[in-house]
Structure 1
């Protein structure tokens, strides 16, 4: 066998271990009894340690070095060349992480989760603060172990979004903020243009679940290779191209957005289901990055699911499915309500225009924590200041502040920026898709989502993790990641919705 073939066998084993851990994580969020936390922490820690040690072994390094020689003559974008290149990047990063740190990260994630749940229920940051302090310390250890010639946050960004750094993200966020905040103020001056009261109506949760299942299946989510369950925080997880699962949450009020949660997670899932089978069980068999992954969930949720063509097709079906609850509500009225701009304390409830501001807030706080300029105990106060500056809202209650997100229990910093990058990249990809699909709006209005899904599969999904975010966006759109398409999109959409022009 060649060195590359031997390397693949190692990567297959490591992938299997990671996916087994993912299955345990999915179970913890859906069906595991509360008493299983300690055992689950040990199980996840053991699997993470074995996978890490197998991957960073000296023998794996020797196979990788030999494989690099074997693929040196291949085209740079070939599957084999990219597999070796990405494996080298991962191997270099992971060999810098000691096994005890890998185990600590896995164990702390399982231990921190129930503490966060209790603190969130009580609105008590002080209860979660000791675990958050450990999260910051672990993130600092990871950044130090990986190393960087720049800022510590650069190392964490590179883990998630290879090729990007803190300065680039700051520049992108500055461009967004300079256009979002003035637009938000103008929208607020015309808030009477949109009536959101229809979303206060209640519909039986099972009816909402059934309709959301029908919608995501129509979009292209393959239930033969997936399922939808309930969880406190909606998510998507993949155990392989043939088993990609989503969860959602549902309450009687339509304002809670069960449908949009399902569409969002199905966007993630369709990405995973669309990866080339040739890449299965390798480091390439996943999304390019969290930001690119989020571009797909938000593309389907917002650019498709909150668009007029979507509701031209689905609104009559929604009225029928909800047994008359919306019979006297017109399609345009419902569309406008679903796109209303209402600054909110809660990120997952944020409207399309203000969502990026929530991410910028978290980005600033994480940088301050990681670089030692902010103490964990000071997070609620810093949060309140940013909420006032960005969103114009008074200081939030405990549950509406820094305890609202599950992410800091993972435990790691640096993951939030992917959400804002997702908005930006999604708009850039959609703008390009429209040039190749000139009848896209008419196709969506007719309930035909296959052309868009096919375009995304060919240009994005199929490649898995072969390319960095910048490389992928450059290949597809001909330009680097930029704020312009998203800014044009929101200024056009909300200018029309609120009659600003």
Structure 2
């Protein structure tokens, strides 16, 4: 192992240790441990940054030549070093310390539905992220610097036209759907024991190809996936005994993330190409949007499809015979694809989901830009929900406190969910072109061909390529929402008996 590889492996090890501490804090750590855990995570983050900014590591990266993959890893390391040199070490430590503390306070505030309990930590988090944006630098809006940490190449100037095009499609389609009769979904809120939900969810995840010899399913306040190399990739979900889709589709969503991490080439383990050096996080995806494309693809394109439930509904009814005694496959498939504005993002249907994302992006962009004060955030949130979805927010837990992202300091990450939706349809369309028998196989429960194609074309490369390079390699073009819009129009046109919708062009 050369010097650059050796030092990169040490940095990745520290980032994986951070992930272990984070996983434990969010799944089983007693509440009393939060203060000490914050200090531990801050220490490990500081050590990782110290190793990254060691002049010897920079010299080792500069000495790399020849091999294309190793050269890309070295260049990514040099780019991260250049960026982090502009960030004061004290700011990095403050952020790491605040993230752990803020997540603990957020969880308590959410349970109490009390935004004021969390507001001081959020105010400090916004201030630190503004400092981070200034340190990293930007040309347009300070939000651009934070966007670049999660989705390289995306800026406010490129993001807003994409959102405008999606909104011009989604809103008329939503209005047309709201004029149609809605199916019965009451049975989704019957009693579904958590233990049985967990067994079923894990079984379906394994059917997709989630390797439980290298992973496990746990419970947390907010579902997530996290990896400690490809050999240990864990997922969580949230069980609600009076709402089946939450845990079920939450598990399938995180399974998509997990299979990405499990599918990376073994030789990339403990390298820069499975490390987000700028964010000091162990993750193998080309970007957060690319990662999200896989969770959305497996959750929605496969997990909510008619073919999936025609195959697996008998198992579902066998698991919950009382709750589903009078429900058939068609009724269940129809219910879990109902378009109905809701307050909770992770429970939103595919169509209104992007409206949830746009709301969050607008608000956090305003927070970072200084146009919105933290104290005014609940009011701004509630007003936007009323305008976009026609709903009244009853309390903070169902509103501004529902997501963990701001407590984790992840400003700039929300756009990646919608970018992932767009990428998912592009990747799926490319897979269909190369695998003409794909959908007939999916009807038989053959998920390996799709998983294999995704592994060959996306997963195995980790962070070798930028998201734009990956899209070009796999689909022949950059980010293009057209396949996504066609998918949504076709799916909901069929479900609701709508005439084909013409997309408005601007």
What TM-score results when the alignment is normalised by the length of structure 2? 0.94
- The answer to whether structure 1 residue 20 and structure 2 residue 10 are counterparts is no
* Alignment counterpart, residue 110 of structure 2, candidates 107, 120, 137: 120
- The answer to whether structure 1 residue 136 and structure 2 residue 133 are counterparts is no
Equivalent residue, structure 1, for 2:449: 451
Distance 2:363 2:369 in 1: 10
1:240-255 maps to which residues of 2 (within 5 A)?
240-255=229-244
Equivalent residue, structure 2, for 1:181: 171
| Partner secondary structure for residue 172 of structure 1 | helix
Equivalent residue, structure 1, for 2:400: 402
Q: CA deviation at 1:115?
A: 1.3
* Alignment counterpart, residue 294 of structure 2, candidates 290, 293, 296: 296
Q: CA deviation at 1:485?
A: 1.0
Equivalent residue, structure 2, for 1:31: 28
Q: 1:86·1:466 contact (CA, 8 Å) conserved in 2?
A: no
| Partner secondary structure for residue 351 of structure 2 | coil
Q: CA deviation at 1:14?
A: 0.5
- The answer to whether structure 1 residue 145 and structure 2 residue 135 are counterparts is yes
Equivalent pairs counted in the alignment come to: 490
- 1:349-395 deviations in whole A, cap 9, x for unaligned? 11111001111001001111111111111111111221122212234
Equivalent residue, structure 1, for 2:271: 282
Q: 1:311·1:445 contact (CA, 8 Å) conserved in 2?
A: no
Distance 1:310 1:173 in 2: 30
Equivalent residue, structure 2, for 1:45: 42
Equivalent residue, structure 1, for 2:187: 198
* Alignment counterpart, residue 317 of structure 2, candidates 313, 316, 319: 319
- The answer to whether structure 1 residue 162 and structure 2 residue 174 are counterparts is no
Equivalent residue, structure 2, for 1:374: 372
| Partner secondary structure for residue 234 of structure 2 | strand
* Structure 2, unaligned runs of 5 or more: 275-283, 500-506
Q: 2:61·2:75 contact (CA, 8 Å) conserved in 1?
A: no
Q: CA deviation at 1:206?
A: 1.3
Q: CA deviation at 1:198?
A: 2.3
| Partner secondary structure for residue 315 of structure 2 | helix
* Structure 1, unaligned runs of 5 or more: none
Q: CA deviation at 1:256?
A: 4.6
Distance 1:258 1:412 in 2: 23
* Alignment counterpart, residue 224 of structure 1, candidates 213, 229, 238: 213
1:425-436 maps to which residues of 2 (within 5 A)?
425-436=423-434
- 1:101-157 deviations in whole A, cap 9, x for unaligned? 111111101111121122212222222111111111111111111111221111111
Over 3 Å counting, the alpha-carbon distance change for 1:251 and 1:412 in structure 2 is closer
| Partner secondary structure for residue 408 of structure 1 | coil
Q: Which piece of structure 1 moves more, 398-407 or 356-365? A: 398-407
Q: 1:384·1:396 contact (CA, 8 Å) conserved in 2?
A: no
Q: CA deviation at 1:205?
A: 1.6
Q: 2:288·2:416 contact (CA, 8 Å) conserved in 1?
A: yes
Q: CA deviation at 1:461?
A: 0.2
Q: 1:313·1:444 contact (CA, 8 Å) conserved in 2?
A: no
Distance 1:194 1:434 in 2: 31
Distance 1:250 1:412 in 2: 24
* Alignment counterpart, residue 268 of structure 1, candidates 240, 257, 262: 257
Distance 2:270 2:28 in 1: 26
Q: 2:19·2:228 contact (CA, 8 Å) conserved in 1?
A: yes
* Alignment counterpart, residue 234 of structure 1, candidates 217, 223, 245: 223
Distance 2:196 2:203 in 1: 11
Equivalent residue, structure 2, for 1:88: 78
- 1:446-478 deviations in whole A, cap 9, x for unaligned? 111000000000011011011111111111001
Distance 2:189 2:435 in 1: 36
| Partner secondary structure for residue 105 of structure 1 | helix
Distance 1:115 1:477 in 2: 43
- 1:307-333 deviations in whole A, cap 9, x for unaligned? 011111111121122235323311111
| Partner secondary structure for residue 245 of structure 1 | strand
C-alpha RMSD over aligned residues = 1.3
Equivalent residue, structure 1, for 2:332: 334
Q: 2:42·2:96 contact (CA, 8 Å) conserved in 1?
A: yes
Distance 1:53 1:121 in 2: 37
Distance 2:51 2:415 in 1: 30
Equivalent residue, structure 2, for 1:480: 478
Equivalent residue, structure 2, for 1:59: 56
Distance 2:182 2:390 in 1: 20
Q: CA deviation at 1:254?
A: 3.6
* Alignment counterpart, residue 343 of structure 1, candidates 341, 344, 347: 341
- 1:176-226 deviations in whole A, cap 9, x for unaligned? 011101111111111x24221221222222111111111111110000101
Q: CA deviation at 1:429?
A: 0.7
Q: CA deviation at 1:267?
A: 0.6
What TM-score results when the alignment is normalised by the length of structure 1? 0.95
- 1:404-458 deviations in whole A, cap 9, x for unaligned? 1111111231111111111111111111111112222221121110000000000
Distance 2:286 2:419 in 1: 12
- The answer to whether structure 1 residue 490 and structure 2 residue 495 are counterparts is no
